[in-house]
Amino acid sequence: MFLWQFLSWTVMNLHNNAYQYTPKQDAILSFLSSQIEKDGQYIMPSLPANATSEEHEAAMKAAQGKPNAVVMYHSSMTYNMGSNIIRGLIVDILIVAFFCAIISRMNALNFTAILISSLFVGMIVFFNVPYTNHIWFRGFDLMAYFIDSLVSWGLVGIWLGWWYSRKPKA
């Protein structure tokens, strides 16, 4: 899983569509830092949390067909590649360990059952966040996330299917 994530995000650059370049980035960042007071994710246009349902309905009608944006704003950039890689590896190990805990309770523990179960988990992961977010916010790397889910969980299923199948039956 970790190896696939590395390949997907770096060597193959499947998520490139979601992180495009604009030559106006310095001006945009300067403007954002002069307008946004705190770190956060902002959807524009939007309304304050205490807006009435009538205000929301009017705002939705007024915004129809006009530009919109989701801005994830941080007032200070920090890079810690080593820490991020270690955290990502630990999370991947935990995810696979959780999956192993689930499949180890299966009655028919064979290669095919493990592979299919793993692919199902991959689809659950994909539908739960990337696809559901895409429904509302139309991201630009939906297919990359779909490929990531199928390939990474397919590889996990193949490896665990082989691993569990090689064990002698008790």
42-54 residue pLDDT tens: 999 999 999 999 9
- Whole-angstrom distance, CA of residue 123 vs CA of residue 153: 9
Which run of H or of E encompasses 76? none
What is the pLDDT, as a whole number, of residue 28? 96
With beta carbons less than 8 A apart as the criterion, state whether 102 and 157 touch.
no
Give the start-to-end residue ranges of the domains of the chain: 2-20+80-166
Asked if the model's pLDDT at residue 170 lies above 80, the reply is no
Coil, strand or helix at 70: strand
60-119 residue pLDDT tens: 999 999 999 999 999 999 888 899 999 999 999 999 999 999 999 998 889 999 999 999
| 111 Cβ contact partners less than 8 Å away, ≥ 6 residues apart | 161, 162, 164, 165
| 94 Cβ contact partners less than 8 Å away, ≥ 6 residues apart | none
pTM for the model: 0.81
* Cα–Cα distance list, 22 to 28, 55, 67, 164 (Å): 9, 34, 17, 49
CA angle 14, 18, 23 (to 5 degrees): 115
Query: Quick count: other Cβ atoms within 10 Å of Cβ 44?
Result: 10
Helices (H), ranges, 64-110: 81-103
